[in-house]
Structure 1
Amino acid sequence: MSRLYIYDHCPFCIRTLIVAHYRQVSDLQQVVLLNDDEDSCHRLIGRKMVPIFEHQGITIAESMDIAKLLDELGEGPKALRPLQLGEAIQPRLQPVQAHSWALTYPRVTRIGMDTFATESACDYFRAKKEALLGCSFEQALAETDTHKAVIERVLAELPPLTLPSEQGDTLSWNDVLNFPPLQYLTLVDGLTFPPRLQQWLHEVAELGGVELYFERAV
């Protein structure tokens, strides 16, 4: 039995889950850690970091290394399509990352995720992320309209992403990389996604066996 240790909100963890589900990796136990559980991470890899993958006595901790190994272990009939540089959206999202964080960090602890099942886990996350944001969650929420306007402009300008339904209901490595930061933004109630991008999100979520947060958005 292999084990995949994750936070259920973590974009890097979502990469590995998409590959594991899509490639139909068998005998894989998913272990959701509390956000303030430092001991488990240090026991496994000597530092606080997820995802962590245990397989045949080996433990690895880089999300794309894990994803590539899960791809090799998978038994599913459909391979992941190769990476296409023209569909890389990270260069467009990176300059507005602070706005994305200001929208998502104050909200993610409020939608019932297992990673934040305890008050101490929520407090731990808040302390870390408020330090990163340079403001309180309350201030970030109060400035929602400003942050939304920036993110919505960038979403509208993203290059068209190939729909899995246009490629025989298959996923690509672009989908694995592009989905997590956009999935995170579905936490934000009322954030506008262009119709094609929203369709792409739903198709990737279904094929990758992961959820979108539209129905729980705050």
Structure 2
Amino acid sequence: MKLYIYEHCPFCTRARMIFGLKKLPVELAIIMEGDTDTPTRLVGRKVVPILQKQDGSHMAESLDIVQYVEGIGAPVLTAKSDAALDAWGQAAWKPALGLIIPRFTQGDFAELATPEAREAYRLREEKAFGDLDALLQRTPELLAQINPLMAQLATLLDGRSEETGLSDILLWPLLRCLSIVGGLDFPAPVLAYARRLEQQSGVPLLFDQQIH
């Protein structure tokens, strides 16, 4: 199977996670930023991730891909959904985006490997979020919003079973995104959780790319 992705994208990370957790081989294919032809040819619209299945057909939507791959062989998403973790992700999403987006446009990702691709991404995010330099200047304000949430998450994760479920597929990609943010607190239980799923999924965190 082949998985078309952006390296930075949290929705693509969901699909990468399930392959790693299930120890299933998959070929990763990068779609460059600004490339609308490839995804449109595969699924009729500009979207990632896209899975090319064993029969050569293609499917989009991250959670649909997760469900499809989970159905191959023995299940690994055996934990029940955790409403508290899901609610945390919803609460953290908006301030997280404010921190993540301006840093992602500066990040070292394969889909941004050319000046044209990086500029296409910057323009796309600027259209959605406005002046990215101004957004980066709001870092102290946004950290003040999200650091208490990270402390709250630590209490939710401390002592939690290591059994994996759909809530982890939703939560961990957001934490991976946040690992690019310099100055963000990762309390010990949150860091241990992030590192454990990094190892189990084979998808690297972004601490080595931190931008303050």
Give the TM-score normalised by the residue count of structure 2.
0.90
1:108 paired residue number: 104
Contact 1:148–1:191 (CA under 8 A) maintained in structure 2: yes
- Mind listing any 5+ residue stretches in structure 2 that lack a counterpart? none
**Does structure 1 residue 81 correspond to structure 2 residue 78?**
yes
Match of 2:117 among 121, 137, 158: 121
| Counterparts of 1:176 and 1:163, CA distance in 2 | 19
**Does structure 1 residue 130 correspond to structure 2 residue 136?**
no
Contact 2:158–2:189 (CA under 8 A) maintained in structure 1: no
- RMSD (Å), alpha carbons: 2.0
1:31 alignment partner AA: A
Give the TM-score normalised by the residue count of structure 1.
0.88
1:3 paired residue number: 2
Percent sequence identity over aligned pairs: 28
Contact 1:81–1:171 (CA under 8 A) maintained in structure 2: yes
| Counterparts of 2:80 and 2:171, CA distance in 1 | 11
More moved, 60-69 vs 97-106 = 97-106
SS at match of 2:205: coil
Please give the per-residue CA displacement for 1:31-60, whole angstroms capped at 9, x wherever unaligned. Answer: 011111111010001110010011113211
Contact 1:9–1:113 (CA under 8 A) maintained in structure 2: yes
Change (3 A) 1:171 1:92: closer
Match of 2:146 among 144, 148, 151: 151
| Counterparts of 1:107 and 1:144, CA distance in 2 | 11
1:96 offset after TM fit, Å? 4.6
1:50 paired residue number: 48
Contact 2:79–2:164 (CA under 8 A) maintained in structure 1: no
Please give the per-residue CA displacement for 1:145-166, whole angstroms capped at 9, x wherever unaligned. Answer: 11111111222223512678x4
- Mind listing any 5+ residue stretches in structure 1 that lack a counterpart? none
Alignment of 1:56-95 (within 5 A): 56-74=55-73, 79-89=76-86, 91-95=87-91
1:20 offset after TM fit, Å? 0.4
**Does structure 1 residue 12 correspond to structure 2 residue 7?**
no
1:74 offset after TM fit, Å? 4.9
1:206 paired residue number: 199
Give the ranges of 4+ consecutive aligned residues of structure 1 lying more than 6 Å apart after TM superposition.
none
**Does structure 1 residue 187 correspond to structure 2 residue 170?**
no
1:147 alignment partner AA: L
